[in-house]
Amino acid sequence: MQRVIVALRLGLIYSFLYNTEAFAENKNLFKIERNKNANVVMYDVILDSNNDIDKKNPVDAYWILYAKQGQREEITAFEKKAYGYTATENGNNSYNLVLKAVKDRSMKIVVVNGEPKAEILINDKKAYLSSVYVAASDSLIPKVSYLILTGTDINTSKKVTEKILTKK
């Protein structure tokens, strides 16, 4: 009986160690900051043990509650209307990503030298997105006034920003 228990334990350990999901790693892509408070929405890419984007669950979006104690909190179904996304596989370890907050500006998730990047046009320049700032009214149903995209120009490595006014 003891041998069976030991064999089962070893089997579980082996399964855990050699399961690619056990080696999955989240790597930060970018964040959404807001004028409302210090809380931010983080968007991570999930990489498997081969540094490929996880096909089942490529992106993880969640809150970091800096206005409280900096803890992680999942985005609710209601909040996904504003902070949700759609990720579509392109092949070659890349995905198209469209944020609900920036619907008209899709981006491409790629892995460059082992690091995931969100490639997007900022001021008509290819850039790697680092943050989106959302300025909105402080009301029951907030209205977004503008967005500021910030990133790094792919060709020059210089910081680029673009302010996008929303439609009234």
Strand partners, 135: 146
Beta pairing partners, 66: none
Nearest Cα residue to 84 out of 62, 102, 68, 100 = 100
- Give Cα separations from 20 to 7, 13, 56, 139 (angstroms): 21, 13, 12, 45
In a domain, residue 16? The reply is no
Give the number of other CB atoms < 10 A from CB of residue 89: 13
Residue 145 lies in a domain: yes
**What amino acid is encoded at 34 in this protein?**
R
Q: What is the pLDDT of residue 91?
A: 84
Residue 8 belongs to some domain of the structure:
no
Q: How far apart are the C-alpha atoms of 1 and 4, rounded to whole Å?
A: 5
Sign of CA dihedral 98, 139, 150, 124: positive
**Domain contains 55:** yes
Alpha carbon distance 151, 36 (integer Å): 22
Would 13 be classed as within a structural domain?
no
Residue at 18 is within a domain: no
The tokens of 111 are what? 């892995």
Read off the pLDDT of residues 84-118 as tens digits, 9 standing for 90 and up.
999 999 988 899 999 988 888 899 999 888 889 99
Low-confidence ranges of the chain (pLDDT < 70): 1-24, 168
Total domain count for the chain?
1
Q: Does the residue 3 lie in any domain?
A: no
User: What is the predicted pLDDT for the residue at 23?
Assistant: 52
Q: Is 53 inside a domain boundary? A: yes
* Contact present, 110 and 58 (Cβ < 8 Å): no
pLDDT at position 143: 85
Query: What is the span of the domain harbouring residue 33?
Result: 24-165
